[in-house]
Chains A and B, each alone.
Chain A
Amino acid sequence: AQKITQTQPGMFVQEKEAVTLDCTYDTSDPSYGLFWYKQPSSGEMIFLIYQGSYDQQNATEGRYSLNFQKARKSANLVISASQLGDSAMYFCAMRLPSGGGADGLTFGKGTHLIIQP
């Protein structure tokens, strides 16, 4: 079964610094997708960034980038120039191709990021 591991339960970061949130995954399937979501205290899951297993380039979306190291099964999220509004829970998730018997996303336990002024 696939698994997502986020080893940082909580992080404190100074405003304007860059942040790296760790994520490792485990699957034997060569085709998969990796996602990062942000969940503020309001509860809604906000999509941040997606990386496909066959993508050659690391994904980027504005201040977010995904450091994808396939051999290490690592998909760390990098937030550049952090802002107070970045304070939230961050979840790493993986999805295998549909029909494989695991159609939903598998989530990690999350990292609680707090940005300090």
Chain B
Amino acid sequence: GAGVSQSPRYKVAKRGQDVALRCDPISGHVSLFWYQQALGQGPEFLTYFQNEAQLDKSGLPSDRFFAERPEGSVSTLKIQRTQQEDSAVYLCASSLYETQYFGPGTRLLVL
């Protein structure tokens, strides 16, 4: 079946702009995760949803970052007033049991 999809694949934003990143999980997967991966580093956890409930947002770096999954399927990660340090790859993953399956990521560049 179809894997996790993310859009856009690439996003260039001017500092101060708001951006919205979309994640379509694997159909039927209850759990959805967002990660941030800086260049040359491993991914770092941002937030976790079980269905529509956001159960853990401990990794969100500031209140400029906001995530939602209103119907328990598609999720959106929103970054307000982007800053240069927000430049990274944003990965979404979904799971039914233990194993998380990742999407291709959105590469965000803030100029």
Q: Do A and B bind each other?
A: yes
Q: Mark A65-98, 1 if CB is under 8 A from B, else 0.
A: 0000000000000000000000000010101001
Whether A101 lies near B44 (C-beta < 8 A) is no
Whether B98 lies near A44 (C-beta < 8 A) is no
Distance A99 CA – B98 CA, assembled complex (angstroms): 14
Chain B residues within 8 Å of A37, by CB: 102
Whether A43 lies near B104 (C-beta < 8 A) is yes
CB distance from A77 to the nearest CB of B (A): 15
B105 interface residue per 8 A CB criterion: yes
Which of B43, B56, B59 interacts with A45 by CB under 8 Å?
Answer: B43
B103 interface residue per 8 A CB criterion: yes
With A35-B99, A50-B98 as known contacts, state yes or no: A107 contacts B43, CB within 8 Å: yes
B22 interface residue per 8 A CB criterion: no
Residue of B nearest to A110 (CB): B42
Residue of A nearest to B6 (CB): A44
CB distance from B12 to the nearest CB of A (A): 17
Residue of B nearest to A33 (CB): B98
Which residues 59-111 of B have a CB within 8 angstroms of A?
59, 89, 91, 93, 98-105, 107
Whether A47 lies near B101 (C-beta < 8 A) is yes
Whether A107 lies near B44 (C-beta < 8 A) is yes
Whether A45 lies near B98 (C-beta < 8 A) is no
Whether B105 lies near A43 (C-beta < 8 A) is yes
6 extra A-B contacts, CB within 8 A, seeds A33-B98, A104-B46, A106-B45: A37-B102, A44-B105, A47-B101, A93-B42, A102-B58, A104-B33
B: residues with CB less than 8 A from A are: 33, 35, 41-48, 50, 55-56, 58-59, 89, 91, 93, 98-105, 107
A: residues with CB less than 8 A from B are: 4, 33, 35, 37, 42-47, 50, 52, 91, 93, 95, 98-99, 101-110
